[in-house]
Amino acid sequence: MRQYDAVVIGGGIGGLAAAATLAKQGISTAVLEKNPSPGGAANSFIRGRFEFEVSLHELCGFGPDDRPLGSARKVLDRLGLSDRVEWVRLPEAYRLITFDEASPIDAVLPFGTDAYIKAVERNAPGSEKAVANVFRLAAEIRAALSDLGKARTAEERKKTLLSHPDFLHIAAKSVDEGFAELGMPKRAADILKGYWAYLFTDCEELSFLHYVNMLNSYIELGSVVPKRRSLALTGAFCDCIRENGSDVFTNAPVRRIRVENGAVAGVETENGSFFPTRTVICDISPAVVYGRLLAPEQVPAALRRKTNARELSGRGFCVYLGLSRSAEELGLNQYSWFIYPDMDTRRQYRDAGSIETNRIQNTVCQNAADPGASPPGTSILTMTTLFSSDCWSEAPERDYHRQKDAFARSMIDTFERATGIRISPYIEEMEAASPLTFSRYLGAPGGAIYGYRAAAWDSILARKMMDGAPELGGLYFAGGFGMNLNGYSSAMSSGMDAADRAVKGGRFS
Ligand SMILES: Cc1cc2nc3c(=O)[nH]c(=O)nc-3n(C[C@H](O)[C@H](O)[C@H](O)COP(=O)(O)OP(=O)(O)OC[C@H]3O[C@@H](n4cnc5c(N)ncnc54)[C@H](O)[C@@H]3O)c2cc1C
């Protein structure tokens, strides 16, 4: 077996970014992926005449060519991959629909800060100044987070915080507290909170700076998807890794990380291969690494406590629909809908803990961004929701298929009711994925597709402040369970960051 300088466990987009970053520097790296194809959630599957995207609704942090900003742009530009993927820019930010009887909302929000502020003002008169202030603060938040990312010691981090007083002031506030402090009218706040389900922590708890940083990233730079689905991104990473002399192995589930003298010594696969190495980057959950891949005595007690204290983020449920009518014929004129009973996010989060009461969804129509996403005269609609508990694992096994089908139908009903668009008669292909599907396919505990929950004590700032030396000699984490919380851009950035830290930590000298 060839000896590699580094081994990456898990070939999701975070692990691939880590491996490509190392490979580009001539550091030989093996990616070990348990599934038959790499990419993790960044994948697609085929049913009948449709190719469905598994996960990606929108990639943020990838500014256009004339404004090449954003965290995803930074990763892909550095690796020379931005131009190796054909991108489609999304037509608008989102359409928000709520059923709130007292004050229902049906608003289409555009990309572009000025256009967005004006659209909110049209829907919530008197909000313009407060909304503009949110974006002013967002610029400060972005600068402070970027400076914090560069600080390497606790002292440097403290100094950085003190040099950004507005940031420091807002740092401890929740989304709801931050909007209240800015004098935001309730209806405008509700509209701005449209993306809350992407972070899936209720706005009474969700960190203001985290949310606003994400909102700004979407609105300022817009969003993209690869024309050939996220698999195109996965393919670009794999090509980069292989062209630079490293390898991606599929059907290679990892069974154990071998540790000697308090540092990693190699990785064993279920198939009996052993990869000796001094550096391991895990693109999988720390709970799996500490609970299964390491022997109990090798895991420091503090690490076990920290891992056990963290809560899982949303457990995913998706309905993938191939429709026998074009988007135009059906009136699917938007790309992305957020549909919520109302904007009481605390209640919605609680109700998302049960199969009976979860009624939130984000639905995307691929054809609204790329008319050629499915054969002529057809369209693809993907509905996603998240669960805030393990209710799917707790449900009796004999009811599983019936419940999955019934819940998928209820999501279709909700969509039809919210938009007035009939899709049921035109369903040609339908596939549903529950948290159990995601758990099995990605190896993510509970089917949590967004890593750890951004709880108040475990938000982006807290994680950045705790950032330090690797937790066990030569062991690093990348991806959705890593430092930057969930999402494609975050997973890629944390992969690149893990690789950089391993290099700076002298692992390869
Ligand atoms: C339905 C859905 C919709 C989403 N929508 C968006 C969106 O619109 N925008 C966005 O930015 N993000 C979105 N996300 C989140 C995004 O997909 C993830 O944050 C990101 O893909 C995580 O990448 P990752 O590399 O951390 O992990 P994963 O993609 O989970 O990859 C982990 C990999 O590790 C492998 N693995 C696990 N255990 C082992 C083992 N023992 N040995 C070897 N390999 C192992 C798995 O097979 C998998 O390939 C969505 C996710 C889902 C599921």
Quote the ligand 1 centre to 41 CA distance (angstroms).
4
The sign of the torsion formed by the CA atoms of 456, 458, 464, 466 equals positive
**Which numbered atom of ligand 1 lies nearest the CA of 42?**
21
**Which numbered atom of ligand 1 lies nearest the CA of 253?**
42
Q: Is 111 helix (H, G, I), strand (E, B) or coil?
A: coil
Both 320 and 435 in one domain: the answer is yes
Q: Which of 31, 54, 56, 273 to mutate to test the pocket of ligand 1 (most atoms within 8 A of CB)?
A: 56
Quote the ligand 1 centre to 15 CA distance (angstroms).
10
**pLDDT tens digits for the chain (509 residues)?**
679 999 999 999 999 999 999 999 999 999 999 999 999 999 999 999 999 999 999 999 999 999 999 999 999 999 999 999 999 999 999 999 999 888 899 999 999 999 999 999 999 999 999 999 999 999 998 888 888 878 878 888 888 888 888 888 888 899 999 999 999 999 999 999 999 999 999 999 999 988 999 999 999 999 999 998 999 999 999 999 999 999 999 999 999 999 999 899 999 999 999 999 999 999 999 999 999 999 988 888 888 888 888 889 999 999 999 999 999 999 999 999 999 999 999 999 999 999 999 999 999 999 999 999 999 999 999 999 999 999 999 888 899 999 999 999 999 999 999 999 999 999 999 999 999 999 999 999 999 998 888 887 887 777 777 665 556 889 999 987 776 677 999 999 999 999 999 999 888 88
| Beta carbons of 432 and 412 less than 8 angstroms apart | no
Residue 102 belongs to some domain of the structure: no
CA distance 25 to 13: 19
Detail the DSSP E strand segments found in 302-422: 315-323, 336-340, 361-365, 379-387
HSE, CB side, 13 Å, CA atoms: give it for residue 102: 5
- For atom 35 of ligand 1, the residue with the nearest CA is 10
Residue 69 token pair: 């900003």
Both 437 and 328 in one domain: the answer is yes
DSSP character string of 20-73 = HHHHHTT--EEEE-SSSSSBTTS-EEEETTEEEESS-S-B-S---TTS--SHHH
Both 306 and 345 in one domain: the answer is no
Quote the ligand 1 centre to 483 CA distance (angstroms).
15
DSSP annotation of 5: S
**Where is the domain boundary, 188, 222, 256?**
222
| Beta carbons of 384 and 435 less than 8 angstroms apart | no
Residue 92 belongs to some domain of the structure: no
**Which numbered atom of ligand 1 lies nearest the CA of 15?**
25
Number of domains in the chain: 3
> Within 10 A of 101 (CB to CB), how many other CB atoms are there?
8
Q: What pLDDT is attached to residue 168?
A: 82
The CA R_g of the chain, rounded to the nearest whole Å, is 22
What's the gap between Cα 206 and its chain centre? 16
Quote the ligand 1 centre to 448 CA distance (angstroms).
9
Quote the ligand 1 centre to 53 CA distance (angstroms).
13
* CA 24-26-31 angle, 5° bins: 70
pTM: 0.95
| Beta carbons of 15 and 246 less than 8 angstroms apart | no
DSSP character string of 339-364 = EES-S-HHHHHHHTTSTTT---EEEE
CA distance 449 to 451: 6
First to last CA, the chain: 22
| Beta carbons of 340 and 360 less than 8 angstroms apart | yes
CA distance 267 to 273: 8
Both 305 and 334 in one domain: the answer is no
CA distance 45 to 86: 19
- For atom 26 of ligand 1, the residue with the nearest CA is 479
Quote the ligand 1 centre to 12 CA distance (angstroms).
5
- For atom 51 of ligand 1, the residue with the nearest CA is 55
C-alpha dihedral, 110 to 365 to 64 to 190, nearest 10°: 30
Q: How far from 407 is each of 166, 316, 359, CA to CA, in Å?
A: 44, 13, 10
Quote the ligand 1 centre to 442 CA distance (angstroms).
6
Phi/psi at 421 (nearest 5 deg)? -100, 125
Both 165 and 258 in one domain: the answer is no
DSSP character string of 202-228 = -TTTSBHHHHHHHHHHHHHH--EEETT
**Where is the domain boundary, 168, 191, 222?**
222
Quote the ligand 1 centre to 104 CA distance (angstroms).
34
Residue 96 belongs to some domain of the structure: no
Q: For tokens 């004129």, what's the residue?
A: 333
Residue 267 belongs to some domain of the structure: yes
Residue 447 belongs to some domain of the structure: no
Phi/psi at 124 (nearest 5 deg)? -140, 80
HSE, CB side, 13 Å, CA atoms: give it for residue 253: 11
**Where is the domain boundary, 163, 190, 222?**
222
Residue 175 belongs to some domain of the structure: yes
| Beta carbons of 62 and 76 less than 8 angstroms apart | yes
Quote the ligand 1 centre to 351 CA distance (angstroms).
25
**Which numbered atom of ligand 1 lies nearest the CA of 38?**
49
Residue 101 belongs to some domain of the structure: no
Both 116 and 56 in one domain: the answer is no
Both 125 and 144 in one domain: the answer is yes
Q: Which of 284, 386, 484 to mutate to test the pocket of ligand 1 (most atoms within 8 A of CB)?
A: 284
Both 351 and 438 in one domain: the answer is yes
Q: Which of 7, 34, 90, 439 to mutate to test the pocket of ligand 1 (most atoms within 8 A of CB)?
A: 34
**Which numbered atom of ligand 1 lies nearest the CA of 382?**
1
Residue 58 belongs to some domain of the structure: yes
* CA 250-508-285 angle, 5° bins: 45
Boundaries of domain holding 483: 6-86+227-311+453-504
Both 498 and 431 in one domain: the answer is no
Total count of residues recorded for the chain: 509
**Which numbered atom of ligand 1 lies nearest the CA of 482?**
26
* CA 187-190-195 angle, 5° bins: 155
- For atom 15 of ligand 1, the residue with the nearest CA is 487
CA distance 242 to 341: 48
| Beta carbons of 412 and 342 less than 8 angstroms apart | no
**Which numbered atom of ligand 1 lies nearest the CA of 489?**
11
Both 367 and 424 in one domain: the answer is yes
Q: How far from 149 is each of 152, 465, 468, 488, CA to CA, in Å?
A: 8, 9, 11, 18
Both 266 and 386 in one domain: the answer is no
Q: What pLDDT is attached to residue 467?
A: 62
C-alpha dihedral, 482 to 486 to 490 to 496, nearest 10°: 30
Q: What pLDDT is attached to residue 305?
A: 84
User: Which CATH number characterizes residue 282's domain?
Assistant: 3.50.50.60
Both 216 and 232 in one domain: the answer is no
* CA 86-89-91 angle, 5° bins: 150
Quote the ligand 1 centre to 288 CA distance (angstroms).
14
Which residues lie with the beta carbon below 6 Å from any ligand 1 atom?
9-15, 32-35, 40-42, 55-59, 253-254, 283-284, 316, 318, 384, 438, 442-444, 449-450, 479-480, 486-488, 491
Beta strands 29-32 and 247-249 are parallel
Quote the ligand 1 centre to 503 CA distance (angstroms).
24
- For atom 14 of ligand 1, the residue with the nearest CA is 487
**Which numbered atom of ligand 1 lies nearest the CA of 494?**
26
Q: Is 484 helix (H, G, I), strand (E, B) or coil?
A: coil
